[in-house]
Structure 1
Amino acid sequence: MSKAVTSIKNMTKITIDIVSDTICPWCFVGKRRLESAIEEYKSLNPEASFEVKWHPYYLDPTSKIQVKMDRYVQKFGQERMEKMLPYMKNVAKQEGINMEYNGPIGPTQLSHRLINYAGSKSPELQDRVVERLFKEYFEINGNIFEIDPLLKISNELGLDEKEVKSALEGEEGSREVDREVHKNQQRGITGVPFFTINNRLHLSGAQEPSEFLRAFTRITK
């Protein structure tokens, strides 16, 4: 057997399915920690490859577009919010995220439709879209809840505007996301991020990189 064939046969492929919402701060933190773990694992196991796929969840399915801080006060109360936000900012900063809490908040179905569209092209493109949406919402205080700003983001990423517009406006895109959210709820997922590794091992929450590394080692033994 040739060296090339041997190399392909011995490659370790790890698939990671992530259930997430685009307004979930811990999902952004979890993404960064996962990326750190992947980078470290690949430095120790150069033959390893990873495929990451993102799946939708609604943290607040009844949400309407409004000022983000107003919604947080309504949901958590002023006293709790004043403690929670500085803590969250500090955690995010440790992962290289400059988290802000200005701008709007709203329903996330449209952003998930954009993510699903990107996923139909490739996992790599989908991950780029997820990253851009997180940055827009958490660092730039942008609007990811309406079609026009999502089209602008898509154009920046070089996506086909006609195809994206169809994905965001079509009824099938709406039904597809709702079905997947319902499926994840039926699986018993009640919080995000939720990670499934190689369809076997599950991790809930924004785990530290060390936890992901332990999971990669377990799953590849």
Structure 2
Amino acid sequence: MTSVNIDIVSDVMCPWCYIGKRRLEDAIGMLPDDVEVDTRWRPYQLDPTLPKEGKDRKQYLQDKFGGSAGASRAYEAIREAGRLEEIAFDFDAIPVAPNTLDAHRIIRWSASEAPGVQDKLVEILFKAYFEKGLNIGDNEVLLNAAEEAGMDRSITESLLSGVADCEAVEKEIDTARQLGVTGVPCFIIDNKYAVMGAQPAETLARAIREVAAKKAEAQ
């Protein structure tokens, strides 16, 4: 068995990251039985300037795209890609563009939980924001997501109420930028190879197989 580690640099307010998650899952399903993949979600913020309470979505779209018409054009490809990945994007249901720092703090803590909890939490957060229109910068929404993923609510609430790991998450985001990550998702395979963007599952699977083959040869 050859084990391959994948660090996924992502922001939970990025629709292409949600699509990239689906494509990575498809890619893993294409791998031979002797290749095992261990994933870890890493933080990134598309807009770290957003306030803790977030920003009115309409104003956010106005500032970023010049209004809803510009946003609709920009999201056309995303909607189509989402349909192919069975993601029911509902951008009209989103009232707030969130600051995702606290979401990344919880995702970081979930890495210390049982296997699969972090991936489950990320899925819950993507779905909450893009399909249900929930504010994933809101503490109650985050605590509900953490509890649903299997984390202890009281411990998470205690950590979230303070500044635990704020600096660590911000430092990790800065490190990603210094390493040349300018957009997400970015899939870093075994700390050596990077696949930028929500590439097709076949592309991801091929990259993983190549890394696994080189590791197997070196063993």
TM-score normalised by length of structure 2: 0.90
Residue deviations 1:67-93 (CA, integer Å, cap 9, x gap): 323311221113421311233211111
The answer to whether structure 1 residue 143 and structure 2 residue 130 are counterparts is no
The whole-number CA distance in structure 2 between the counterparts of 1:148 and 1:204 is: 33
Q: CA RMSD in A?
A: 1.4
Residue pairs, 1:1-221, within 5 angstroms? 11-41=1-31, 45-64=32-51, 65-78=54-67, 79-101=69-91, 102-103=93-94, 104-221=96-213
Counterpart contact for 1:117–1:167, Cα < 8 Å: no
Deviation at 1:48, TM superposition (A): 1.9
Q: Report the secondary structure of 1:170's partner residue.
A: coil
The DSSP-based 3-state class of the residue aligned with 2:123 is helix
Q: What secondary structure sits across from 2:30 in the alignment?
A: helix
Gap runs ≥5 in structure 2: 214-219
- Identity level (%): 36
- Structure 1 unmatched ranges of 5 or more: 1-10
The TM-score normalised by the length of structure 1 is: 0.89
Distance 1:141 1:210 in 2: 31
Q: Contact 1:195–1:202 at 8 Å: present in 2 too?
A: yes
Q: Which residue of 2 aligns with 1:8?
A: none
**Alpha-carbon distance change, 123 to 77 in structure 1, aligned in 2, over 3 angstroms:** farther
Q: Secondary structure in 2 aligned to 1:126?
A: helix
The whole-number CA distance in structure 2 between the counterparts of 1:153 and 1:114 is 9
1:107, CA displacement in angstroms? Answer: 0.7
Aligned pairs, number: 208
Provide Cα deviations, 1:34-61, integer angstroms capped at 9, x if missing partner: 10010111xxx21221100001011001
Query: When you count helix as a share of all residues, which structure comes out higher?
Result: 1
